[in-house]
Amino acid sequence: MGRIVASEFVTLDGVMDDPGGAEGSPFGGWAFSFDRGEAGNDFKYEELMSAQALLLGRRTYAGFAAAWPQMNGDEFGQKMNAMPKYVVSRTLTDAGWNNTQVLAGDPVQEARRLRDELSEILLAGSGELLAALHEADLIDEYRLIVFPITVGGGKPLFAAATEQKRLSVIDVKPAGETILLRLRPA
């Protein structure tokens, strides 16, 4: 059995909404005004290189698919574009981005199936999918880059949580102007 690793950008007040600003959220655009330094860049590089596949919700997928095909000039971009990608969507029929499969079934069942078939699946962004997998106890590790900013609104990281779930800290370290936080279910 493999594992699902959730990788998220989050503000100090717990918001994950539109970190790059491309979605036009009034609370978005905060992530790229901070330098995560060499430690943060290494963290993201190692995370991607160890993943066998990428799992995304439809909205996150749309943003990634619009940006990443043009960023093939380094090893990170090449891996992102070549690796298997799975997008959970009830509305998307043609994924378009190289090596992408649309998963139209129940998101929890689809993720459980992938977890049984693959070694390490990286879940990026995808707030609704993250919430469903969190509630179903399918996230094996949470990797958060915490940005030292409060935005006062937007979608919280665990907005749909219905019960307390205790997590254990694996590692915490500074990365430029950000903090790298790794957790797992307790």
Q: What does the alpha-carbon distance between residue 60 and residue 16 come to, in Å, rounded to a whole number?
A: 12
Q: What does the block give as tokens for 172?
A: 């915490």
Q: What was the pLDDT predicted at 159? A: 80
Measured distance between the N- and C-terminal CA atoms of the chain, rounded to whole angstroms: 19
Q: What was the pLDDT predicted at 95? A: 85
- What strands, in cross-sheet order, belong to the sheet with 141-147? 100-103, 85-88, 53-57, 120-124, 3-11, 141-147, 178-185, 167-175
State the fold for domain 41-163. Dihydrofolate Reductase, subunit A (3.40.430)
Burial 52-65 (b: 16+ CB within 10 A, else e): ebbbbbbbbbbebb
User: Domain locations in the chain?
Assistant: 41-163
Q: What was the pLDDT predicted at 148? A: 97
Contact 15, 156 (CB under 8 A): yes
| One pLDDT digit (tens) per residue for the chain, 186 residues | 899 999 999 999 999 989 988 888 888 899 999 999 999 999 999 999 999 999 999 999 999 999 999 999 999 999 999 999 999 999 988 888 999 999 999 999 999 999 999 999 999 999 999 999 999 999 999 999 999 999 999 999 988 778 899 999 999 999 999 999 999 999
Q: What was the pLDDT predicted at 144? A: 97
